[in-house]
């Protein structure tokens, strides 16, 4: 039987790129979204990925992406909502609007429009990638954290709505990997927040996603990957 593709959003770099490449190298079909063209995308293209450009900043662009996706495949093994922007708060309202669009509106509309594609696959999953800070909030990323909390709540509702055929879960990482401009002081401060004190890297998220994809009796769950940060 033909294997239905995995859709992962935000595959142009870092976690999304790593996961897409691993699946392709393991022989799984992949559909991936990107916002801006990058050299790395040609690596995915060369491995057979179907790439769709999408900016989830606003409703129309989300709906345009969904139309393109429906023309691309008749089924989906999984939808991994990884695309994300980690912007600081602002008083213009722009940060909150963008974050709500990317972290809530896009996953919400994609899930609603693509239920039939998941139903056409012999097994089906949705995984929302959120943030460990949904538990405690974040003083300097208020809008980001609120939008990730909203995405976490979508997990509970879609798990109820799409059961029993589709499992819907959430991965809530703390520090996964740094950004290129992070200072040494910032890095040490972030590492010190957890009990295990490591920077796990993309592979930790990839392994967690695959654990959920291979599970048979987990839905509506939030899998925190935080090095014991909640106990410190
Ligand atoms: N890195 C970490 O330590 C942590 C990460 N997480 C979460 O894990 C996931 C992966 O993290 P990471 O790899 O660092 O993520 P990135 O910050 O690298 O973002 C992933 C992708 O999201 C895409 N994206 C951003 N804005 C939009 C938009 N408006 N429309 C469409 N796509 C967009 C970007 O696309 P493009 O490059 O094409 O512009 C980018 O490649 C994210 O959901 C993140 O919130 C949670 C906690 C810690
Ligand atoms: N979309 C993103 N979300 C987050 C990122 C990131 O780089 N992109 N990074 C973090 C931090 O690692 C934070 O968890 C600790 O510094 C959070 N979310």
By the 8 A CB rule, do 100 and 78 touch?
A: no
Distance between CA atoms of 8 and 27, rounded to whole angstroms? 15
By the 8 A CB rule, do 77 and 121 touch?
A: yes
> What's the chain's average pLDDT?
98
Which residue in this structure is represented by tokens 């896009």? Answer: 106
Q: Which ligand has an atom closest to residue 12 CA?
A: 1
ipTM: 0.98
Q: Does residue 82's CB lie within 6 angstroms of at least one atom of ligand 1? A: yes
Instruction: Report helix, strand or coil for 33.
Output: strand
Q: Does residue 226's CB lie within 6 angstroms of at least one atom of ligand 2? A: no
**Stated pTM of the model:** 0.98
Cis peptide before 164 (omega within 30 of 0): yes
Q: Does residue 14's CB lie within 6 angstroms of at least one atom of ligand 1? A: yes
pLDDT digits (tens, 9 = 90+) for 196-214: 999 999 999 999 999 999 9
Structure tokens, 135: 């538990």
Distance between CA atoms of 80 and 151, rounded to whole angstroms? 12
Alpha helix locations (H) across the chain?
Answer: 14-25, 39-46, 59-72, 94-100, 106-119, 142-162, 184-191, 202-214
Residue 2's pLDDT band (cuts 50, 70, 90)? confident
The highest-level CATH class for domain 6-231 is alpha beta
By the 8 A CB rule, do 6 and 28 touch?
A: yes
The ranges assigned to domains in the chain are 6-231
pLDDT digits (tens, 9 = 90+) for 111-170: 999 999 999 999 999 999 999 999 999 999 999 999 999 999 999 999 999 999 999 999
**Sign for the pseudo-dihedral over CA of 73, 3, 51, 173:** positive
pLDDT (0 to 100) of residue 184: 98
By the 8 A CB rule, do 56 and 83 touch?
A: yes
Which residue in this structure is represented by tokens 């995308």? Answer: 41
Q: From ligand 1's centre to the CA of 12, what distance in Å?
A: 9
Q: Which of 17, 57, 20 is nearest to 38 (CA)?
A: 17
């Amino acid at each position: 039987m033909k294997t239905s593709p995995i859709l992962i959003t935000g595959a142009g770099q870092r976690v999304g790129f790593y996961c897409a490449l691993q699946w392709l190298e393991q022989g799984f079909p992949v559909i991936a979204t990107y916002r801006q063209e990058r050299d790395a995308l040609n690596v995915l293209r060369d491995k057979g990925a179907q790439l769709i450009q999408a900016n989830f900043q606003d409703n129309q662009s989300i709906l345009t992406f969904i139309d393109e996706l429906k023309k691309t495949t008749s089924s989906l093994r999984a939808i991994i909502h990884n695309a994300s922007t980690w912007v600081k708060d602002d008083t213009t309202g722009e940060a909150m609007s963008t974050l709500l669009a990317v972290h809530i509106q896009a996953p919400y509309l994609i899930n609603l429009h693509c239920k039939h594609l998941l139903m056409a696959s012999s097994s089906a999953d949705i995984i929302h990638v959120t943030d460990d800070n949904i538990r405690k909030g974040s003083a300097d990323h208020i809008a980001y954290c609120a939008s990730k909390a909203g995405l976490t709540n979508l997990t509970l509702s879609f798990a109820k709505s799409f059961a029993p055929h589709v499992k819907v879960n959430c991965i809530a990482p703390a520090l996964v990997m740094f950004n290129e401009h992070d200072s040494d002081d910032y890095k040490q401060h972030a590492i010190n927040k957890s009990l295990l004190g490591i920077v796990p890297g993309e592979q930790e998220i990839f392994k967690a996603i695959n654990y959920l994809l291979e599970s048979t009796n987990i839905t509506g769950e939030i899998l925190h990957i935080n090095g014991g940060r909640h106990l410190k």
